[in-house]
Amino acid sequence: MDNAQNLNILFIHYDLPAQFDHLIHYFSTQTSHKVYAICQSSAPLARHKNNRVTLYTYQPRPANSGTHRYVLDLERCAIKGQAIVNILQTCKRQGIHFDLAVAHTGWGETLYFKDIYPDTPLLGYVEFYYHAQGADAGFEPEDVISTDEALRIRTLNAQLLLGMSSCDALITPTAWQKSLFPAIWQPHINVIHEGIDIDKVKPDPAIRFTLPTGVTLTRDDEVVTYCARNLEPYRGFPTLLKAVELICQRRPHCHVIITGGDDVSYSKRLPDGQNYRQLLLKTVNLPQDRVHFLGSVPYATHLQILQLSSAHIYLTYPFVLSWSFMEALASGCVVIASDTSPVMDVLQPDINGLTVNFFDYQHIADRVDQVFDHPQRMRHLGETARQTIEQYYQHHFSIRRYTRLFQQLLAPTAESHYA
């Protein structure tokens, strides 16, 4: 994109910078562009302000607890949409013109954008189209989806489709996520992963990491790692713990490092304030001196743990692919991952990683044995994993793809903004 264009670019996401981190950094460092952002007051960008970004924040009111449960999420989205409208009206009164807007469509923040700025091209990030069958819902064998629940799940897409209809172009990060959307919409969805900063996320053969217990580990040690935003079923935490118990029985010198919070991001909340870690630890016998729960850690620490890893376990429902999976590949980890659909978009079995059945904890333990017992043979998996990110998922590539789409949106003669 020609930097001389002097663009005013707006980013909208309740939890910025989120998927737009690299874009916001790139465009905010270009002196010819002006970057604006709208997020909730609790978002990381609001807590750690970027002086090069003009930031507006909002805090939505709660939805009515008496609302029909099918449309409760739609009400929450409408409330957020109204909050965005209030900010946009303020911007308009201040005489601010936006040349381009980029927004996540998942929480209602794009619903009414065009009612305030009808002439501003809007690029919508579409992350997940809900299904009662064939994706995350009903993935657990014992999770039977009733007709009532299936109808609620279908209704979750109402605000998404309404928000998409206001967008001039659409993006999603992986081909599998695109495949979830109705066939009529798929030709209008561009696949652009947000990318990985390979200069920051990279292997370090000389890494030394000291645990809170005082034990220092290096790449010469047997270290199994697992990370998730929160330790919950959606990311395979129950299966992981069973595997860890078996791994520790088989390998008396192995250390397991587990990072993640005790809240839930996607799974059902447990009653009475319980969390999955406390509940599931009662079902296994783990050596406390070798299994280390570090909780939520700073990003720099997260990257060090990946650099230390001998074998990194990644498990997920058929759902949104985690950044940590891509970061593990970029760090040169030997990744042992569930053979679920989002993973298989990126992982090639026995080429850049190893696959397991999501529920087969014994196979996970077997895979760990395979990695430790044949280090020379397994090393190429980590090397190829790194090459996969270098060749296809560098954030510089993503920025270029976004920029080309921006150019199409800004082209005055374009008959259709959909790429």
Q: What structural domains and CATH numbers belong to the chain?
A: 3-195+395-410 (3.40.50.2000), 208-392 (3.40.50.2000)
The answer to whether 162 touches 143, Cβ cutoff 8 Å, is no
**What pLDDT sits at residue 105?**
96
Q: How far is CA 92 from the centre of its chain?
A: 32
- First-to-last CA distance in the chain? 16
Q: pTM for the whole thing?
A: 0.93
**What pLDDT sits at residue 89?**
98
Distance CA 372, CA 95 (A): 62
Q: Per residue in 226-279, pLDDT tens?
A: 999 999 999 999 999 999 999 999 999 999 999 999 999 999 899 888 999 999
Distance CA 209, CA 215 (A): 8
What token pair was written down for 19?
A: 């998927």
What token pair was written down for 337?
A: 């991952």
Distance CA 359, CA 338 (A): 8
The answer to whether 109 touches 103, Cβ cutoff 8 Å, is yes
- Strands 34-40, 122-125: pairing kind: unpaired
Distance CA 159, CA 290 (A): 47
Across-strand partners of 335?
Answer: 312
Distance CA 169, CA 171 (A): 7
Distance CA 400, CA 414 (A): 20
Across-strand partners of 256?
Answer: 224, 291
Q: What angle do CA 415, 418, 419 make, to 5 degrees?
A: 105
**What pLDDT sits at residue 330?**
98
**Residue 353 has what DSSP assignment?**
B
Low-confidence ranges of the chain (pLDDT < 70): 1-5, 412-419
Task: Give Cα separations from 419 to 23, 338, 399, 401, 412 (angstroms).
Answer: 19, 33, 16, 11, 15
Q: How far is CA 294 from the centre of its chain?
A: 20
The answer to whether 309 touches 328, Cβ cutoff 8 Å, is yes
- Using alpha carbons, select from 187, 131, 137 the residue that is nearest to residue 160: 131
Residues in the chain: 419
Quickly list H helices, 119-192.
147-155, 157-164, 175-179
Question: How many CA atoms within 13 Å lie on the side-chain side of 33?
Answer: 20
Q: Per residue in 129-139, pLDDT tens?
A: 999 999 999 99
Q: Which residue has the tokens 């998922």?
A: 393
